[in-house]
Amino acid sequence: MKAAIFDLDGTLVDSAPDIAWGINRMLAAYGLPPQDIPVVEQFIGEGATVLVAKVYAHIGERVDEARVERDTGLYLDYYRSRPVADSTLYADAASALPALRRAGVRLGVCTNKIQSLAETVLAHFELMQWIEVVVGSDTTPYRKPHPAPLLHALAHFGIAATDAVFIGDTAIDYECAVAAEVSCRIVDWGLGPALNLPERTRLRRFADLVPVDASRA
């Protein structure tokens, strides 16, 4: 393994509380009822526009495409104002990422969050110093599960798909990895357990990615 590429929301960072806060501020602007964090969390992963559209569908609010686009901008304005107030790191991310770098594994992030927002979140948790490339929803013309974002990260590293692993938490991540012909691991938290994927794809802690020789050093 020459590189490990991570999804962000639901994989490295539990950002659902802050995303839900932004969504609820958007809803409040129209006098609509707030949604609990678990409700919003199930719609995270396909980008901001899909998130807004699915929240509206969930509450039975009929909106057209133009309204969704406009309100996505409203949601993002709120979310940008406090993207990491209540977010937390998952599992052992804080210690495992530097351990991976020390072992010579190059690190990247491939997310359907806007790249600048992803970098803001990663910087808050002091992870940017370990991460070489961040591919967001606006970095390439495509979003996951299209393989283009993951292939973009591989091209940055200059490595073959067989030399990398992609770590995520949703079916979108799994489908993206399969399409890019990259090995995939699905974390054992967030939405991951609900996927019922084969045991070999499960990841119980990030330290399990550290090469054995390096972890014993």
**Catalytic residue numbers, as ranges:** 7
DSSP secondary structure code for residue 9 in this structure: B
Nearby residues of 211 by Cβ (< 8 Å), 6 or more positions away: 1, 103, 105
Rounded to the nearest 5°, which phi and psi values hold at 85?
-65, -40
In contact, 168 and 174? CB cutoff 8 Å: yes
Nearby residues of 184 by Cβ (< 8 Å), 6 or more positions away: 165, 166, 167, 168, 173, 174, 177, 178, 201
Alpha-carbon span 116 to 133, nearest angstrom: 12
Structure tokens at 212: 């054995």
